[in-house]
Amino acid sequence: SQTIHQWPATLVQPVGSPLSLECTVEGTSNPNLYWYRQAAGRGLQLLFYSVGIGQISSEVPQNLSASRPQDRQFILSSKKLLLSDSGFYLCARGQGAGDEKLFFGSGTQLSVL
Amino acid sequence: SQQGEEDPQALSIQEGENATMNCSYKTSINNLQWYRQNSGRGLVHLILIRSNEREKHSGRLRVTLDTSKKSSSLLITASRAADTASYFCATDTKSSGDKLTFGTGTRLAVRP
């Protein structure tokens, strides 16, 4: 199973508040994990990428950070949300073993007001 | 920046018709993939075509790749209302490793 658990499904937060989105994955160990953001009606923008515990690559400068405290846990955080942080956040995992396709979670719709 | 750009942005067809979506990209790729996204949901992988392949089939899906034109097309034959979704192409390159860059997507509506 390559199941990805992502929660919450929707979140409304005031500007300046903190954020913590959690993603846990099942399946093979040491997966590559990804956080993507999707603006309304747009494609996906890669935010963070992790190849292992504690290893995070940031793809774009922004108000967000990511952490991987356990092999199958990937967390997206912010200390103070901005209006521009609104969007649909998707966690994904690589299947591993040289297979390039990604499995996605069901996403979190974040609205910052 | 987006590596892939889908065309058209939106497509509306009658059930039973074929749907063709196109993807153009900018730099040389290793692989190109197509994903489907139902509204408000995560993406689901449909098919992967490698840079040395020209055509691939999976059920009602047919994908072509023209590396000289840096473009790919996704054909859905005999469309069904359940095919209504957004479709995205995604590419990886030698320098990107297994990180994918997604296009902007085509919204397909299949009328019953």
Q: What is the per-residue pLDDT across A26-51, written as a single tens digit (0 to 9) for each?
A: 988 889 999 999 988 778 999 999 99
Banded pLDDT at A1 (limits 50, 70, 90): low
Q: Which residues in chain B have Cβ-Cβ distances shorter than 8 Å to A100? A: 30-31, 33, 48, 92, 98, 100
| Cα A31 versus chain centre, distance | 14
Query: Cα separation of B112 and A5, whole Å?
Result: 33
Sign of CA dihedral A111, A101, A47, A7: positive
- Whole-number Å distance between alpha carbons of A17 and B49: 43
Please check whether residue A2 is in contact with residue A27, taking contact to mean a CB–CB distance below 8 angstroms.
yes
d(CA B73, CA B22): 4
Q: Which residue has the tokens 């390559």?
A: A2
> Residue B83 is part of which domain span?
4-111
Work out how many domains chain A is built from and give that number. 1
Structural domain total, chain B: 1
- Judge: B45–A94 Cβ closer than 8 Å, yes or no: no
Rg of chain A in Å (alpha carbons): 13
Interface of B with A in 52-91 (CB under 8 A): 88, 90
Cβ–Cβ of A34/B102 closer than 8 Å?
A: no
Interface touch A100/B105, C-beta < 8 Å: no
Residue A38, domain extent: 4-112
At B1 the pLDDT is: 45
pLDDT at A96: 63
Nearest to B92 among A88, A100, A106 (CB): A100
**From the list A59, A100, A109, which residue is nearest B31 (CB)?**
A100
A46 touches chain B (CB under 8 A): yes
Task: Mark yes or no for CB contact A46/B99 under 8 Å.
Answer: yes
> What letter represents residue B98's amino acid?
D
Judged by a CB distance cut-off of 8 A, whether residue A103 touches chain B is yes
Question: pLDDT band for position B10 (50/70/90)?
Answer: very high
How far is A95 from B5, CA to CA, in rounded Å? 25
Determine the average pLDDT of the residues in A107-113: 96
Nearest to A101 among B41, B45, B107 (CB): B45
Q: What is the CATH number of the domain that holds A32?
A: 2.60.40.10
B33 and A CB contact within 8 Å: yes
The pLDDT value recorded for residue B93 is 85
- Residue-averaged pLDDT of chain A: 91
Render pLDDT for B81-105 as a digit per residue (tens, 0 to 9). 999 999 999 998 877 777 899 999 9
CATH code of the domain containing B43: 2.60.40.10
* Percentage of chain B lying above the pLDDT 90 cut: 79
Cβ contact, residue pair B45, A102, below 8 Å: yes
Q: Do A106 and B41 touch (CB under 8 A)?
A: yes
